[in-house]
Structure formats: C-alpha cells, structure tokens
Amino acid sequence: MKLLLYTHEFPPFLGGLATISHKLTKGFSDSKIEIIALVPSYGGNEKGFDKKLDCKVCRIPLIGNKIIRAIPFLQQLIGMFYLGYSVKKLKPDLVLFITEEAEVTGGLLSYFIKFNSVVRVAGSGIMTCFHGNNFFKKLQKYPMKRLYNKCKKVIAISNYTKSLLIDIDVPEKKIEVIYNGISDHLLNNETNFEKVSQLKKELGILENEKVFITIARILPRKGQDFVIRALPKVVKQFPNVKYIVVGEGRYKEKFEELSKELGLENIVSFTGGVSHNDIIHYLDMCDIFIMPNRLWNNKVEGFGNSFIEASSRGLPVIAGNDSGAVEAVSNGQTGLVVDSENIDSIAEGMIKLLRDSSVAKSLGDNGVKFVKENFTDDLMISNYVSLLKETVNQ
C-alpha cells in the first residue's frame, strides 16, 4: 500500500496536531507501509526532524509561514497545487488528511482530481466552520463537507467528535473512532531527577511547594485564565503553590498581565514553548495537571491529548466538563471533571487534590493504568493500519 499523508502541521511546529502527524508518519513507516509525508516548511530548520523518519518527507514552501497562514485560503491554494502534483505523480492508494486546513485543501482538489482518501477529524474545525460566525471560516465548510462525502472513511478522535460529524450528516457507518496514543517515551522512561531539580531551580520552585501545570496553547479555550482567576481562592488555604504555564499563543501576554493584576506574578510562571521530548521533565516536576477546557470562539477540545500525557506520568488531572475531555479523563478515577465556566468549581477541584494527597496519588496511579489499557501509540497505530488496509482492499 502506498499512502500519502497530507497535513498542515508538522515538527518543528509545536502542538498536538503536529505531534500526531509526526507519530503517524513514523508508525506507518515502521509498519512497512510505503508512506510519503507532504508537510509544511517552516523556513529550513526541518532537516533534523526529517532524517529521523524512515520515509520520504516533502516540504511545501510557504504554507508554514505565519503571514501566509493569516491570509484566508492562501495556504490551502498553495497546498492544493503541491498536493495535486503529488497525487498525479505518486498515484497513492490513499491520501490521509490531518488538520482542518488540509481538509479544505483536499476538498478543493477533489473538484479537479479523483483520489481515494481517509480523513482524521479532531472536532474544532467542525465547530468553527459549520457553526461559527466568521465569514471565511464558514466558507471552508463547503470543501470540508465535500471531502467528508467523497472520502472512504472518516476517523474521529473521540465519540464526541463522532457526534459532531453525525450532526453535519456524515453517515455513521463511514465514521471510525480511534483515540490518540501515548509514546513509550512518556509511559516507560524513569524520572530524570537531575533534570527535574534543574527545572525547579530555574523556575524558582521550592521543595515544599505543590505545583500545578498546564501544557497547551495559551488560549481561553484551554482555560489557563480561569486557573489564574481561581488561584487567589486556592492560595488562601495553600500558600505554598506554584502554577506553571507551558506553551505559546496569542493570549500569553494578556494572561501574564492578568496574573500581575491579581498579585500572582511570583506564583504563575510562563515558560514558552517546550519541545515534545522535554515535556516529560515538566510533567515529572509537577504534582497536578490542570486544563479546565471550555467552548470558546466556537472551538472545542476534541479529546485532549495533554490529559493522557499527564496521566501517563502518574499525575492526577483536572479537566473541564466540555467536549471530548470527558473521554480522556475518568471522573473520580483518573482525575476530576469540573465546571469549566465556574471559577469556584475549578478552585474547589484544586483544593480537593491539595488537601488529600492520598486521593491525588490514587488518581495518578489509576491514570497510568488507564493510559496503558486504552491510549498507547502501539494501539493507535495498529488501529490506523488495520483501517487503512481494510479501506484499500474494499
């Protein structure tokens, strides 16, 4: 089988979609599938990433550029040219689309070229393009829906995402749910105490302090702002607390200013983006993972890979009660699900885990088992490979 994987996010770009695109590319290659990855160029710093993959990686110029990405439909039109050329030249058995922008590109190309495809859908694209009010986003729903109609299969990353697809009339029989996976690197590596100690020193974390962490893009949808607003209630009872915010995003400066307004500048630290290989050290440095995700700007958390990453390292997690996060977190078993729109509910969840360390440890221990049973990379890749081979043979 010859597979062309087409995505608009790929390392060295940081983020969940880039990570999953990279994981699938490597997993398919290891499974002896002939794979070609057609991915963005980010200015020539990609050679180190591409050399680690035992397959052909073709970088599309410009579509990774911030200015190009900001102009409606420009990256999709550029991508459509390269995708069309690749489909004609390589004649793949299947094209696998990952990311909302890739779906738009595939839908546009399907007006001009016939190809067999499978689409992986996270969920936020459906909310913004099919239910949002942004004019240019609303235009994207037409090529996206065309691709859903033309493709052989649609892979939903959660049952929540599946329900979103059914709501826009994608036939249920066409949809398969395959959860994201966690790497052996996170599940099985021992804690590097030297690295953890160094990070704590750099961030000014004392040994007697309890540390909360969020690893995600800095956006209201991820809930870092509500954690900051909840902290004054928490600090009244537990003054030895720190909150580490890992990630980049256009709300970073605004949330930093919020922490200063609330007098929390010595409690809240913003680290910026962190490479995927270093996430393990940040998780091991902390006591509790928190991301009270909420519906914002018609965007949702289709699943929440950060939750299962944290669970894989034995951390109890606090999640919002919105969207697919409730499938990544088993409420009362691996973490707590709180009202993501209620500051008091978030604060109560934080205080509960600080007050009872035995409950926190039990949730963390259960989380490791939960991930090993349901969310490993091996299981994810196996499910993808089986579906793709079955689709080609239909």
The verdict on 249 and 235 lying in the same domain is yes
| Same domain, yes or no: 31 and 132 | yes
For residue 7, give the nearest of 85, 109, 106, 90 by alpha carbon.
106
Distance (Å, whole) CA 254 – CA 82: 38
What DSSP designation does 93 have? Answer: S
pLDDT for 137 equals 93
Q: Which domain holds residue 258?
A: 184-374
Q: What is the DSSP letter of 191?
A: P
pTM recorded for the entire structure: 0.91
pLDDT reported for residue 43: 81
Q: What is the pLDDT of residue 213?
A: 98
Q: Domains in the chain: how many in total?
A: 2
Separation CA 318–CA 347 (nearest Å): 10
Q: Name the amino acid, one letter, at 361.
A: K
The answer on 239 and 145 residing in a single domain is no
163 with 302, same domain?
no
Q: Encode pLDDT of 276-304 as tens digits.
A: 889 999 999 999 999 999 989 888 888 98
What was the pLDDT predicted at 51? 80
pLDDT at 45 over 90: no
For the residues of 345-392, what is the DSSP string, one character each? Answer: HHHHHHHHHHH-HHHHHHHHHHHHHHHHHH-BHHHHHHHHHHHHHHHH
pLDDT tier at 253, thresholds 50, 70, 90: very high
Helix (H) or strand (E) holding 221: none
pLDDT band at 323 (very low <50, low <70, confident <90, very high): confident
Is the pLDDT assigned to residue 47 strictly greater than 80? Answer: no
Same domain, 212 and 318: yes
Based on the domain organization, do 193 and 142 belong to the same domain?
no
Q: Please tell me the predicted confidence (pLDDT) of residue 341.
A: 95
The predicted structure's pLDDT at residue 231: 98
What pLDDT score was predicted for residue 297? Answer: 86
**For 53-57, 228-232, 268-272, which range has the lowest pLDDT when averaged over its residues?**
53-57
Compute the half-sphere exposure of residue 117: CA atoms within 13 Å on the CB side of its CA. 29
Q: Are residues 170 and 234 in the same domain?
A: no
**Do residues 48 and 167 share a domain?**
yes
- Here the CATH number for the domain that contains residue 251 is 3.40.50.2000
371: which 2 tokens? Answer: 């991930």
Q: What angle do CA 36, 39, 44 make, to 5 degrees?
A: 115
Average pLDDT over residues 315-336: 94
Segment 167-215, tens digit of pLDDT: 999 999 999 999 999 999 999 999 999 999 999 999 999 989 999 999 9
pLDDT at 351 over 90: yes
pLDDT of amino acid 261? 97
Q: Are residues 41 and 68 in the same domain?
A: yes
Task: Answer whether 16's CB lies under 8 Å from 221's CB.
Answer: no
Q: What percent of the chain has pLDDT over 70?
A: 100
Residue 228's nearest CA partner among 316, 350, 317, 334 is 350
Going from the C-alpha of 379 to that of each of 159, 178, 207, the distances in angstroms are 17, 9, 37
**pLDDT for the residue 278:** 93
**Cβ partners under 8 Å of residue 46, min gap 6:** 11, 12, 57, 59
Conformation bin of residue 27: beta by default, left when phi > 0, alpha when psi is -120 to 50: alpha
Same domain, 163 and 192: no
Same domain, 217 and 201: yes
Buried b (16+ CB within 10 A) or exposed e, 174-195: ebbebbbbbbeebbeeeeeeee
Looking at the fold, whether 365 and 386 belong to one and the same domain comes out as no
pLDDT bin (cut points 50, 70, 90) of residue 48 is confident
pLDDT tens-digit profile of 85-129? 999 999 999 999 999 999 999 999 999 999 999 999 999 899 999
